Amino acid sequence: MTRAAVPGLPSRYPIGEQLPALYAEDDFAQRFTSGLDTVLAPVFATLDNLAGYFDPRLAPVDFLSWLAGWVGGVDDERWPLELRREAVARAVELHRLRGTRRGLVEALRLVLGVSADVSGDGGVAWSATPGGATPPPVAAEILVRVWPGRSAEVDPDRVRQLVRTLCPVHTRCRVEVLPGRPADAAEPETDGEEGGHRA
């Protein structure tokens, strides 16, 4: 889509009407300025609707990739339009949740359309007693179980690639692809929770 020289787009601020009275009846002046109006009308239309360009849910489709670049979001033109808009709108939130269980589950759901459950604590251990004995080491492996969600099929390679990208570097992440939701899977966290558990 182009925003330059849109055929038939009227200018809200015609230059010919703003000229001194001397040029109101001048045919050449009116034709000349109407040509400028054709060029400037898309600029005025864009400026009048500028706030909509910065809202991913309202922005023109061809503007989404540029907007995604502003917030470090992902915009894949192969995705449905509503998913593209949601990915850009939630990019900042997902950056804040990066490295948490909730962040990983939300990213898998949003980007790949799969449901997921994350178990394991990432190998974190500490002692509540100053100078006390070091706690026994814990397993540094994270288990990520995924199953079909919005998408009917799960692409294991894409899941592993995304999990590798989002898991903290000090952890090992193992991915299991399941045919459906397991009985022991945790309930999804609500939007009001911080999701502060490390993944």
| Cβ(53)–Cβ(59) below 8 Å | yes
DSSP per-residue codes, 26-90: -HHHHHHHHHHHHHHHHHHHHHHTHHHHT-TTTS-GGGHHHHHHHHT----TTS-HHHHHHHHHT
pLDDT of 93-152, one tens digit each?
Answer: 988 988 888 999 998 988 888 999 988 766 666 778 888 887 776 666 888 999 998 877
Task: Specify the pLDDT at position 89.
Answer: 92
pTM: 0.62
User: Residues with Cβ < 8 Å from 198, sequence gap 6 or more?
Assistant: 99, 100, 101, 121, 122, 124, 168
CA atoms of 116 and 177, how far apart (whole Å) = 9
With a pLDDT cut of 90, the percent of the chain lying above it is 18
| Cβ(110)–Cβ(141) below 8 Å | no
Domain ranges of the chain: 18-48, 99-199
Indicate the pairing of strand 172-177 with strand 141-148: parallel
Residues in the chain: 199
Task: Specify the pLDDT at position 67.
Answer: 92
Task: Specify the pLDDT at position 77.
Answer: 85
Q: With cut-offs at 50, 70 and 90, classify the pLDDT of residue 33.
A: very high
| Cβ(161)–Cβ(108) below 8 Å | no
Least confident among 141-145, 153-157, 184-188, 195-199:
195-199
